Structure 1
Amino acid sequence: MTSLKAIVPFKLVVTFSDATYGTFNAAPMLSERGEGTEPLRDRNFFAKVELVNGKPIWPNYFDISPAWLQEEMEKRGELEHPRPLRRR
């Protein structure tokens, strides 16, 4: 993952190293109960996500695997593929 930005409500705008990109809706993930996701339900806390060593991580050390994130976005239709460059 090469870039990451949190936007409200509970979405991540991401770009992967293979140039695919998109907006991940984290709301379904946050609706599942769990110790790690509980703090992320607060919008201010969710916005504190950082890109560390190529993966999203929050201050409570909850992180998301970039491979899982890319696969999940592909399944949901949230992943965009760059258009090939046309050569003349």
Structure 2
Amino acid sequence: MTTPRLKVTAIRAIVPFKLVVSFSDGSFGTFDASPMIGERGEGTEALRERRYFGLVELANGVPTWPNYFHISPDWLREEMANRGELELPLPARRKR
């Protein structure tokens, strides 16, 4: 049996350079994109402008900008977990 592919189910850009993210596994949090966009690269250069950074949208569960720069949901979730930015869903309460 294959495991379902992780997707981002909701995303919203907030300033300065942060993304409020919800994942299909129920986890969520706020990702600080400053280190990522500070790296050299053609794809991240446009994201350094706050207005452009705010144009992030979901394309099939993947955060994507108009210049086609995108972030893998798996990488994003792992990075958020490593930085302590990820909240896990509360376990479902069992009925008695």
Calculate the TM-score normalised by the size of structure 1: 0.96
Which of 11, 19, 26 pairs up with 2:18?
A: 11
Residue 5 of structure 1 aligns with an amino acid whose one-letter code is R
**For 1:10-64, what per-residue CA distance to the aligned partner results, in whole angstroms no more than 9, with x for missing partners?**
0000100000000000000011111000000000000000011000000111000
CA RMSD of aligned residues (A): 0.8
Name stretches of at least 5 consecutive residues in structure 1 with no aligned partner. Answer: none
Q: Which runs of 4+ in 1 moved over 2 A?
A: 85-88
Q: Secondary structure at the match of 1:22?
A: strand
Structure index of larger Rg: 2
Report deviation, 1:86: 2.2
Name stretches of at least 5 consecutive residues in structure 2 with no aligned partner. Answer: 1-7
Q: Secondary structure at the match of 2:82?
A: helix
User: Could you tell me which residue of structure 2 aligns to residue 58 of structure 1?
Assistant: 65
Percent pairwise identity: 67
